[in-house]
Amino acid sequence: MLHLWTSHLHPVPLPEGHPFPAAKYAPMVERLIAEELVAEAHLHLSEPAPLEWIHRVHDPSYVANILEGSLTDAEVRILGLPWSPQLVTRARAALYGTVMAARTALVHGIAGNLAGGSHHAFRDRAEAYCLFNDLAVVIELLRDEGRVRRPFVLDLDVHQGNGTAAIFAGDPAVFTYSIHSEHNYPARKEAGSQDIPLPDGCRDDEYLAALDATVPAALDRHAPDFVLYQAGVDALEQDRFGRLALTHEGLAARDERVFRWLEERRLPVVVTLGGGYGRPLELSVEAHVNVWRAAAAALRRQAVRDSP
């Protein structure tokens, strides 16, 4: 059964009309329960992560500024969210969810976080709604615990995972793969292990062909023992920040491919939510739910495969 962590009970105060999609989280959880993709007993509430975890990746002075709310006006603009104690709690809870899901994935094969994927956070600064880089924290924690040696970040959000790429630049044990909109945020891309830029208006066939041509080969080349799947759905055509033109069917085909590739290689995977800013927002909710449909189907296949 799929285990998921949720932070939706940690609301963040935002000004009216703010583009952060806070309204998508609760209905997504309701859909997952209604479709029996996750049992209520396996839907876990995230709590604020210990500072010790955060300090594994982030500069202590940066963390102190976040906790104290002493960011400059320029830093708040780059973050894109007004500072509040609730924002800090929510960011820490999202990080907690990814860590717990990752530890569970090592046992059950697949687990996920209904938040997280904060791939724009650098060691010493926040960017684009991302305070703490939960992907990087998971990697450092699991490596310190001796449970992971060669992690692979499979970042399929429409925006390049610039923070993650920068954090692990020069670390050959960590592979950072990103397929993203070439002319989208961030304007200055970092150099990841493999970056696949796509043109504006890229549609399903071109996107899936690019995945087919690069992801299996990258997995085989790196030979990872753990995968972090940043499953953002902001490549959807109706996404306000996307610039690509994928359909729900195209995104569902993406997720089916990903889980099949990981199954074939017997690779445990933690799945994070990533971006989704559809107009209307219900379109992103549907795309997010599709990710977990694919994850649940993969777990069912795994159960059949492993049965006596």
pLDDT at position 307 is 73
- DSSP label at 193? S
Q: What is the mean pLDDT of residues 38-45?
A: 96
- In contact, 283 and 237? CB cutoff 8 Å: no
> Could you list the active site residues?
120
In angstroms, rounded to a whole number, what is the distance separating the alpha carbons of residues 253 and 294? 9
pLDDT at position 90 is 97
Residue type, 159: H
Q: Is the pLDDT of residue 16 over 80?
A: yes
Provide the pLDDT confidence category of residue 306 given band limits of 50, 70 and 90. Answer: confident
pLDDT at position 230 is 98
Report pLDDT digits (tens) over 67-80.
999 999 999 999 99
Provide the pLDDT confidence category of residue 304 given band limits of 50, 70 and 90. Answer: confident
Q: Is the pLDDT of residue 142 over 90?
A: yes
pLDDT at position 26 is 96
Report pLDDT digits (tens) over 215-264.
999 999 999 999 999 999 999 999 999 999 999 999 999 999 999 999 99
Sheet holding 194-198, edge to edge: 43-45, 4-6, 110-113, 269-272, 226-230, 151-155, 175-181, 194-198
User: What are the CA-CA distances from residue 9 to residues 80, 97, 114 (Å)?
Assistant: 21, 13, 12
Provide the pLDDT confidence category of residue 303 given band limits of 50, 70 and 90. Answer: confident
Could you tell me the pTM of the whole model? 0.96
The helix (run of H) or strand (run of E) holding residue 261 is helix 248-264
